[in-house]
């Protein structure tokens, strides 16, 4: 465990991390909840173009329990270990912290000695997670400078209490406890990230467990009961400092992508759907006169559709909503990728001027109506661009097609399977599907991707680019 | 061992060693300057960091003075050796643990507190106690004629703390200057050796020195 020099995958700045060698493999969350009594697991996909097994699953790690429902996961340590106030650069980026969002179980998965044969190092049972953290349904994992931060969708005592964030010890993986000291009126949880140099944590709102575990609740959506606020927290004092309501029509504020350069005090948030016109939107948060502000910088409209082509949940609307479910920002803070899971499109925006994003590229695949195929897929594809991950150098983008078990079944009711594709990026803007890269996971669905050595939604940097 | 100047050299040497450790301040000062894009911030930040460190070391002086009132020098040296041995062993296996601190928006008061907290928690003061005892012993024998002096060696130890802090400040400033002007941050990736582990060994070495002095 004791390294003499810092882990070579830690970089002081995002700009330096872009010089990192290309990733050779990916870890992908594989889901079998509600189907064929198989456990979830982690799949290792070969990303080395010189390897004979390029674009294939080279290893499958199955979990010992059923129905964990993996969703997001993260590394135990990353570039934030170099942050100056409590540096521990000799920690290894080695373990994946993998929560089961349905079971509330936490798996610590060791990627050494053979990174292509990960194995389970520790299992923290749901009882322990809930008793010590006060929360259930763990979701997003971020490697902080002082601990591992994990967001959780629900309280430990069922559905009534607030979701929030808890801490895991960096070294032992013991659950330390809830993070918040003063939460104000924050109740719904989902994603979070931070501006480390500003001592600010940002968190978003999805829903309560009863609003998502058995599927999207249409009455709650039309009643505007899903989350529509963003919270800004004092990272140091662990208390809520400001809340911005985007408006009740903007339902489900999900992924948060702050600028990677610590000198920049802005970031992007994705909103899944507007109850007014089914559009999706991207919002920019930024600071002005000491206050955080938010404004809508991208609107993606719904597309008219024949009700016969739509699943029961959408028939009445005669339109297919874009359903922006994930966004991701390249390490140079230049390109924002936006997954339109409903319409089956991945958008690339040039956000060099964050207030005026420009559509720079687009890829079409899957989609509720179009079901656009991949050059290497036999049939029309179900599902659409969902969890996006960008390589550190910004040249390659990977994405998978599953959102969440019960929601997949509502929007893609024809037994959607899992697939993962790759997109090549033109350095000046523009994207295209790699026609040779198509990973078919069969009936197993796939969610978050983590790349070897880090990617664009893992590491936080304390030094300017 | 080195005669009367041995303990003084040790205080200076430890000062340089503490200053070189990125976890003791120069890196924090450097990052603040980079973040605010003002070089002056780097140099100004070093001052409260040095002051916080000095306070932590002064705390060790107070402990030594109190100890000298109730125990003989050799007894204190043995106690110091024992405590350093235990703490060094603890750090050997927990070298990566730091006091909890989150926050980069810091003023001088915060930096002072931070530095005091880091130095104290990592045993910077404890590490120099054998040298302080040496300084006190040297002063006492030098002033053997002055019977009834209230705090034997107190003044000497205070001078030693000042020298220690100046050495630390000089090394912090020089290191920050070289990284800022010459090497760039990339050096953190290549040359940042495991200082926390070295620190644990330094504590054990200090334990050894205290034991040798007691013999």
Residue A461 is predicted with a pLDDT of 97
Residue A440 to residue A45: CA distance in whole angstroms: 11
Write the CATH number for A365.
2.130.10.10
Q: Is B184 at the interface with chain A, CB within 8 A? A: no
Give a yes or no: residue B159 inside a domain: yes
Chain-centroid distance of CA B25 in Å reads 12
Q: What tens digit of pLDDT does each residue of B56-110 get? A: 999 999 999 999 999 999 999 999 999 999 999 999 999 888 888 889 999 999 9
Peptide bond into A113 cis (omega under 30): yes
Average pLDDT value over all residues in chain A: 96
Question: Tokens for A47?
Answer: 């990303």
Q: Which residues contact A330 (CB under 8 A, 6 or more apart)?
A: A336, A337, A390, A394, A456
Q: Closest chain B residue to A234 measured between Cα atoms?
A: B103
Residue environment code for A5-42, b if the CB has 16+ CB neighbours within 10 A, otherwise e:
ebbebbbbbbbbbbebeebbbbbbbbbbbeeeeebbbb
Give a yes or no: residue B79 inside a domain: no
Give a yes or no: residue B85 inside a domain: no
- For residue B47, give its domain range: 3-72+99-141+151-183
Give a yes or no: residue B77 inside a domain: no
Residue B86 is predicted with a pLDDT of 98
- For residue A28, give its domain range: 14-451
Give a yes or no: residue A58 inside a domain: yes
Eight-state DSSP code of residue B178: I
Q: Which of B104, B107, B124, B17 is nearest to A87 (CA)?
A: B104
Residue with tokens 């994992």: A141
How long, in residues, is chain A?
A: 465
Q: Is A80 at the interface with chain B, CB within 8 A? A: no
Give a yes or no: residue B137 inside a domain: yes
Give a yes or no: residue A34 inside a domain: yes
Q: Is B192 at the interface with chain A, CB within 8 A? A: yes
Question: Tokens for B114?
Answer: 């931070």
Q: What is the pTM of this model?
A: 0.96
Question: Tokens for A37?
Answer: 């009594």
Flag whether pLDDT at B145 surpasses 80. no
Give a yes or no: residue B215 inside a domain: no
Q: What is the ipTM of this complex?
A: 0.93
Q: What tens digit of pLDDT does each residue of A308-322 get? A: 999 998 999 999 999
pLDDT in tens, chain A (465 residues): 578 999 999 999 999 999 999 999 999 999 999 876 899 999 999 999 999 999 999 999 999 999 999 999 999 999 999 999 989 999 999 999 999 999 999 999 999 999 999 999 999 999 999 999 999 999 999 999 999 999 999 999 877 789 999 999 989 999 999 999 999 999 999 999 999 999 999 999 999 999 999 999 999 999 999 999 999 999 999 999 999 999 999 999 999 999 999 999 999 999 999 999 999 999 999 999 999 999 999 999 999 999 999 999 899 999 999 999 999 999 999 999 999 999 999 999 999 999 999 999 999 999 999 999 999 997 899 999 999 999 999 999 999 999 999 999 999 999 899 999 999 999 999 999 999 999 999 999 999 999 999 999 999 999 998
Yes or no, beta carbons of A84 and B22 under 8 Å apart: yes
Total domain count, chain A: 1
Q: Is A164 at the interface with chain B, CB within 8 A? A: no
Give a yes or no: residue A460 inside a domain: no
Residue B151 is predicted with a pLDDT of 53
Give a yes or no: residue B192 inside a domain: no
Residue A336 to residue A390: CA distance in whole angstroms: 10
Total domain count, chain B: 1
Q: Is A11 at the interface with chain B, CB within 8 A? A: yes
Residues of B in contact with A6 (CB under 8 A): 188-189, 192
Residues of B in contact with A262 (CB under 8 A): 35, 104
Give a yes or no: residue B189 inside a domain: no
Binned at pLDDT 50, 70 and 90, residue B17 comes out as: very high
Give a yes or no: residue A102 inside a domain: yes
């Amino acid at each position: 465990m004791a390294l003499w020099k810092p882990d070579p995958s830690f970089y002081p700045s995002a700009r330096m991390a872009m010089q990192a060698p290309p990733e050779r493999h990916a870890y992908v969350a594989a889901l079998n909840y509600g189907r064929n009594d198989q456990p979830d697991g982690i799949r290792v996909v070969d990303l080395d173009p010189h390897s004979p097994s390029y674009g294939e699953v080279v290893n499958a790690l199955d979990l010992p329990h059923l129905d964990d429902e993996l969703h997001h996961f993260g590394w135990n340590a990353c570039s934030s270990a170099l942050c100056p106030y409590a540096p521990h650069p000799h920690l290894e980026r080695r373990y994946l912290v993998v929560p089961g969002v349905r079971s509330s179980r936490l798996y610590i998965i060791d990627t050494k000695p053979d990174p292509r044969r990960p194995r389970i190092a520790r299992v923290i049972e749901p009882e322990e997670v809930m008793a010590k953290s006060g929360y259930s349904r763990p979701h997003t994992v971020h490697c902080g400078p002082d601990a591992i931060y994990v967001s959780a969708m629900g309280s430990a005592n069922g559905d009534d209490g607030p979701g929030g964030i808890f801490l895991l010890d960096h070294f032992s993986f013991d659950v330390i406890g809830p993070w918040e000291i003063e939460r104000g009126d924050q109740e719904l949880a989902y994603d979070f990230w931070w501006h480390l140099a500003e001592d600010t944590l940002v968190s978003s709102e999805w829903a309560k467990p009863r609003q998502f575990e058995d599927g999207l609740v249409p009455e709650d959506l039309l009643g505007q009961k899903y989350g529509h606020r963003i919270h800004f927290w004092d990272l140091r004092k662990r208390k809520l400092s400001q809340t911005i309501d985007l408006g009740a029509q903007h339902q489900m504020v999900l992924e948060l992508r702050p600028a990677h350069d610590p000198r920049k005090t802005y970031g992007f948030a994705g909103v899944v759907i507007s109850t007014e016109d089914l559009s999706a939107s991207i919002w920019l948060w930024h600071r002005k006169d000491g206050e955080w502000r938010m404004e809508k910088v991208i609107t993606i409209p719904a597309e008219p559709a024949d009700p016969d082509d739509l699943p029961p949940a959408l028939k009445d609307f005669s339109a297919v909503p874009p359903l922006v479910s994930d966004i991701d920002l390249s390490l140079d803070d230049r390109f924002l990728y936006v997954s339109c899971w409903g319409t089956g499109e991945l958008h690339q925006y040039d956000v060099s001027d964050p207030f005026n994003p420009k559509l720079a590229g687009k890829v079409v695949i899957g989609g509720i109506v179009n079901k656009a195929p991949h050059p290497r897929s036999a049939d029309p594809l179900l599902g659409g661009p969902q969890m996006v991950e960008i390589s550190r150098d910004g040249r390659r983008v990977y994405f998978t097609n599953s959102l969440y078990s019960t929601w997949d079944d509502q929007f893609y009711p024809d037994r959607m399977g899992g697939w993962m594709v790759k997109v090549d990026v033109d350095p000046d803007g523009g994207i295209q599907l790699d026609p040779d890269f198509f990973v078919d996971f069969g009936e197993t669905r796939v969610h978050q991707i983590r790349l070897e050595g880090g990617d664009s939604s893992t590491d936080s940097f304390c030094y300017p680019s | 061992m080195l005669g009367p100047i041995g303990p003084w050299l040790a205080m200076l040497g430890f000062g340089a060693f503490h200053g070189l450790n990125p976890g003791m301040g120069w890196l924090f000062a450097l990052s603040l300057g980079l973040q605010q894009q003002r070089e002056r911030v780097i140099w100004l930040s070093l001052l409260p960091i040095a002051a916080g460190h000095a306070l932590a070391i002064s705390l060790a002086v107070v402990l030594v003075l109190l100890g000298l009132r109730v125990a003989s020098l050799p007894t204190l040296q043995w106690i110091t050796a024992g405590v350093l041995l235990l703490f060094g062993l603890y750090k050997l296996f927990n070298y990566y643990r730091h006091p909890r601190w989150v926050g980069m928006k810091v003023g001088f008061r915060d930096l002072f507190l931070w530095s005091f907290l880091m130095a104290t928690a990592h045993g910077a003061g404890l590490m120099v106690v054998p040298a302080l005892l040496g300084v006190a012993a040297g002063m006492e024998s030098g002033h053997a004629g002055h019977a009834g002096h209230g705090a034997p060696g107190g003044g000497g130890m205070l001078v030693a703390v000042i020298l220690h802090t100046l050495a630390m400040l000089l090394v912090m400033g020089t290191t920050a200057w070289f990284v800022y002007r010459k090497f760039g941050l990339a050096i953190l990736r290549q040359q940042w050796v495991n200082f926390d582990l070295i620190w644990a060994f330094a504590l054990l070495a200090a334990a050894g020195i205290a034991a040798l002095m007691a013999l």
